[in-house]
A and B are shown apart, each in its own frame.
Chain A
Amino acid sequence: MINTNMPILVIGGGIAGITAAVDAAEVGYRVILVEKEAYLGGRVLRMYRYFPKMCPPTCGFEINSRRIRQNPRITVHTLATVDEITGVAGSYTAKIKLQPRYVTGEHAIKDTIINKLTSERANDFNYGLDTTKALYMPHDMAYPPSYVLDRTALSEDDEQMLKAECPPGAIDFNMTEKEITVKAGAIIVATGWRPYDANNLDNLGYGICKNVITNVMMERLAAKSGSAGGEITRPSDGKKIENIAFVQCAGSRDKNHLPYCSAVCCMASLKQARYIREKNPDATVTIFYIDIRTIGREEKFYYEMLEDSNVQFIKGKVAKITQASDDHSLVLDVEDTLSREKLHSGFDMAVLATGMVPNTADAKLPYKTAYDEYGFIDAAKNTDGIYAVGCASRPCDVSRASKAGTGAALKAIQCMMGGE
C-alpha cells in the first residue's frame, strides 16, 4: 500500500528542509535534498546562538548531518537548483541543475597548497565581513565536508599552481554544469529567506558608515568561527564595543521597504544584546523600537532583558544614522515618542534589525504556484503535492521552521499514500 518507490524532493537544505528530509527518510521514504549553496545548513548555521535556549546551531546541525550521512535513503545535491517541475501530485518529474564544484573529493588537498593561493573571494558565509581563498571550505562543519573552487575568483597563476601541485584527479577543471532528472511523489519547498538588502536603507548609513552592520552580520561577529574570532569589535578600527544601538524595524513595517513584520528581529536583537552583555560586560546597549514583538514564551526573555540596567529601551524608530566627526562613532537621530524628545545619540556601532525576504520574492518556483504579495508561498492556496515550509511560506524562527519541516514531511507522506 505504501508507495515508497517514489522519493520526496526537498528543495532547500536549511533547517526546515533538513528536518523534513530526515524525518521522511527515517520513516522509510527516499528523499532527494537539493541545496543551492555548496553546503547544507542554510541561514541557521550562520547564527552564533539561537533563542530561546541560546544554544549554538552547530550542535543541532552535527546531529542532523550525522542523520543524513547515516541514512542511505537521503541523496544530497549541493550547488544544485531545480529548474523545471512537471507532473501531478504523486508523480512529479524535476530537472535539477548541478553547478560544478571542481573538487572531486577523491583525494585530500593539503593545507600547504591552499595557503599558497593568492586569489581570494568575499566570504558570503560571513556576509562579506571577510574573505576566503578561491579554493575554500565553506565553514568548519561543512556538509558535505569538501572544498569548493570558485573559478570566477581564481587567477591564472593560481590555476597553474593547483594543476601542478594537487594530486591528479583531486580537482577536475573540466567539470561542467550538469542536469539530472529525478522523479518525485511529493515536493517540499524550503527555499528560505535572505536578509532585506540594507543598501536600500540610505538614511540609515549602511554602506556609508563602516560601523553600521546588519543583524545577520552581528551573528558572524559574535561567532567564534566568524570573521572576528568571536570578539565583538568595531569594524572600522577593531575597538571593543562600549555602547551599541539596535535599530529595530530597519526596513520592516515600512511601506517604502518591507511592509510586514518579520516576527523574529525583536528576539534576534534581544538575543544579540545578550551576546554583548556576556562578551563585553561593561558595554551598554540601547534598543530603539516601535513595538517589542516577542510572542508567546519569548516574552520572558524580553522581561529578563528589561531587568538589565545596562540595556536601555527607547520607543522610536531611528530616522537617520550619520558618521560622527571622529570618523568611527555614529549619531542616531530618533524621536523618543514617550518623552517627546528628539535624540541625537552617539554610539560605537549600530545593528540594523533587517527583516526577512523570501527567496521566492524574485526567484519563483519552476511550477505554477500561488504567492502572496510579498513573494511568500501562499500555503493555503497550494493544495497539490507541493508543500511550502519554513520561511518560504512566512517569516519564522528556528523552532517553528523545523516543526513545519516535520509537518511537511507528514503531508508529503500522506500525499504519496493517497497518490496514484
Chain B
Amino acid sequence: MDTSERTEQKAIETTQKEPDSSVIEEEAVYIEPDVDFIIALRKQGGDTLKKCMQCGTCSATCGLSPDTAPFPGKEMAWASWGMKERLLNDPDVWLCYHCNDCSTRCPRGAKPADVLAVVRQESVINNAFPRFFARWINQPQCIPLLLGIPTLLLTLALYFKDSLGEALGMSIPTGDGIIYSYSHVFPHWLLNSFFFFFSALALIVTIIGGVRFWKILDSSVAYRIDKSQPRSLLKSCLKVLGNIITHDDFSTCVASRSRFYSHMCVLFGFGALTFVTIWVITSSINPLAAGDFIYPFNFFSPWKILANIGGVSLLTGVFIMIWERGKENEQIGTGVYFDWAFLFALILVVVTGFATEILHYIRLEPHRHIAYFIHLVFVFTLLMYLPYSKFAHMIYRTIAKVYAEYSGRKVK
C-alpha cells in the first residue's frame, strides 16, 4: 500500500467512524483526489499544504473557528486529498481572516492560513463569470493585458469624445474655462457614462458570483440550516454588518494584531472615497448638493476634507499591511499573488489620485492630465476587476458570514 492509498484508506476509516456527526455529512466515501487541484493550490502559494500531519493545532489555536467542524484542520485534510468540491463549497474558508495564528503555531510549517487564502482565490475564480477571465486576472503575466484594456478603452472614449458628444448632444467646454478643471479634456458626462457602464457591468458580474456562491452554500454538505431554530435573514445581515464595522473578528488574532487597525483604515478610507465619488457623480440630481457641497468642491469643503482624509487613511492602512507582510517571518508566510495584487491596486489608485490632486493645485500642465488618465486606468482596474480579484472578498466573506449566522453555525 503506498502513501496515497493509505491516506485514502485513512480518510475512509475516518468518515466511517463518525456516522452521526450532525455538521459534516459523514458517510463512507471513496475519495478520488483531484490531483490537478492539489497542484494548482500548491503552485499558487499553498506549496506547504502537504506538510500537514493533521494534528489539529491550527483549529484549536484559531480564535474564530467554531467548536463543531472547526477550520482550518478539515480544510487542510481536504486540500491534501484534493477534495475540490468540498473546499469550494466550504463557507469556512471565508470565515478565516488570514491572521496567521494557525501558521505561527503549526508544528510542521504547513501554513494553513496561506492554504486557505489560495482556496479563497480558487473560490473567487470558481464563482466568477466568466471563469476564464478570472483565471487570467490572477496570473502575474497578464498584468500588461489587464492594464491595456482600460488604457485602450479610455483612449478610445477620449479620442471619440467630440463625435460622441455631438451625437449625444453634450457640450464640451473649450478654451480657458471659468473653472480650472479637467472637464475640457475629460468631460464629466463622458467619464460618468463610461464608468457607470462598466461599474454596472462589474456589479452584474458580482451579483452573479454572489448568487452562485449562495446557491453553492445552500446545497453544500458542510452545513445544514438549523431548522429547529429558524433565524431571520435580515437579522443575520444586520449582525454581520455590525461585526464588519466594529472589526470584532480581527481583534481575536494574535499573530497579526495590526490588521485590526490597518483593515479599519482601509475600509473606512475606501468608504469615504466611495461616498464622495458617488456624491460627485450624482450631484446634478442630488437636492442636498448645495453651498460647499456643490461639485467642484473648494479645498476646505467638508467633502473635500473627507475625501482627503479617506485617501490618507486608505494609504496608511495599505502601507501598514505591506509593512507587516514584509516583516512577517517564514513561519507566517508572505501571502500569495492574489493578496499582493489587490494591495498594489489600492496603493496605485490612491497614489495616482493624490498625484493628480497635487499637480492640479500647482497647475502643472499637461502633467495633471497624464496623472489623471493613469489614475482613471487604475480606478478601472480596481473596480472592474472587483468580482475577479481579492476585492471580491468584500462580497464572498460577507455572504459566508451571513450564511454562517443564518444557518445557525456557532461562530465566535
Contact = CB atoms under 8 A, between A and B. Distances in A.
A249 B65 CA distance: 23
Contact of B56 (A254, A256, A337): A337
Interface stretch (B17-25, B197-205, B212-220, B388-396): B17-25
Interface string A118-135: 000000000000000000
A335 B108 contact: no
A43 B61 CA distance: 34
A320 B107 contact: no
Nearest to A335: B56
A174 to B, nearest CB: 52
A335 B107 contact: no
Contacts of A319: 56-57, 60-61, 105
A337 B13 CA distance: 13
Contact of A340 (B55, B58, B61, B69): B69
A18 to B, nearest CB: 35
A317 B67 contact: no
B68 A337 contact: no
A304 interface: no
Given A255-B107, A319-B60, A342-B59, A335 B68 contact: no
A335 B17 contact: no
Most chain B C-beta atoms within 10 Å of own C-beta, residue among A203, A254, A319, A336? A319
Contacts of B70: 335, 340-342
Contacts of B105: 203, 256, 319
Contacts of A333: 60-61
B109 interface: yes
A337 B76 CA distance: 11
B54 interface: yes
Nearest to B105: A319
Contacts of B57: 317, 319, 335
A334 B107 contact: no
Contacts of A315: 56
Interface string B4-21: 000000000010011001
B73 interface: yes
A316 B55 CA distance: 5
Contacts of A340: 18, 21, 23-24, 68-70, 73-74
Contacts of A249: 55, 107
B60 A256 contact: no
A99 B238 CA distance: 73
Interface string A2-40: 000000000000000000000000000000000000000
Contacts of A342: 59-60, 65-68, 70
In this complex, the interface size class of chain A, counting residues with CB under 8 Å from chain B, is 20 to 34
B55 A290 contact: yes
B52 to A, nearest CB: 11
B152 interface: no
A251 to B, nearest CB: 9
Contacts of B364: none
Interface in A332-385: 333-344
Nearest to A258: B107
B331 interface: yes
A334 B56 CA distance: 7
Interface in B63-109: 65-70, 73-74, 105-109
Which secondary structure characterizes the binding site on chain B? loop
A335 B60 contact: yes
A319 B65 CA distance: 13
Contacts of A334: 56, 60
Nearest to A344: B67
A286 B108 CA distance: 24
A332 to B, nearest CB: 9
Contacts of B331: 256
B370 interface: no
B53 interface: yes
A318 interface: yes
Nearest to B13: A338
B55 A320 contact: no
A344 B14 CA distance: 22
A67 interface: no
B107 A256 contact: yes
Interface in B340-380: none
Nearest to B110: A255
A320 B73 contact: no
Contact of B60 (A253, A255, A257, A320): A320
B65 A317 contact: no
A383 B318 CA distance: 58
Nearest to B54: A337
A209 B106 CA distance: 23
A317 B56 contact: yes
Interface in A284-321: 290, 315-320
B68 A341 contact: yes
A168 to B, nearest CB: 59
B332 to A, nearest CB: 12
A254 B60 CA distance: 16
Contacts of A343: 67
Given A203-B105, A339-B21, A320 B67 contact: no
Given A256-B331, A339-B21, A320 B56 contact: no
Contact of B109 (A255, A320, A339): A255
Contact of B17 (A254, A255, A290, A338): A338
Nearest to B104: A256
Contact of A335 (B23, B53, B59, B106): B59
A334 B331 CA distance: 21
Contacts of A336: 56
B73 A337 contact: yes
Nearest to A340: B69
A339 B66 contact: no
A275 B67 CA distance: 33
A339 B74 CA distance: 10
Contacts of A290: 53-55
A371 to B, nearest CB: 23
A344 B17 CA distance: 22
A334 B107 CA distance: 14
Q: Identify which of A257, A338, A344 gathers the most chain B CB atoms within 10 Å of its CB.
A: A338
Contacts of A257: 107
Contacts of B18: 338-340
A67 B25 CA distance: 65
Nearest to B65: A342
Nearest to B20: A339
Interface in A141-158: none
B230 to A, nearest CB: 25
A251 B58 CA distance: 15
A316 B57 CA distance: 7
A321 to B, nearest CB: 11
Given A336-B56, A338-B14, A340-B70, 14 more contacts: A253-B107, A253-B108, A254-B107, A255-B106, A256-B331, A315-B56, A316-B55, A317-B55, A319-B57, A335-B70, A337-B56, A337-B73, A340-B21, A340-B24
Interface of A: 203, 249, 253-257, 290, 315-320, 333-344
23 contacts: A253-B53, A254-B107, A254-B108, A255-B106, A255-B107, A255-B109, A256-B107, A256-B331, A315-B56, A317-B55, A317-B60, A319-B61, A320-B60, A320-B61, A333-B60, A335-B56, A335-B60, A339-B18, A340-B68, A340-B70, A341-B67, A343-B67, A344-B67
The 9 A-B pairs with the shortest beta carbon distances in the complex, nearest first, are A335-B56, A319-B60, A254-B107, A317-B55, A335-B59, A316-B56, A342-B67, A337-B56, A290-B55
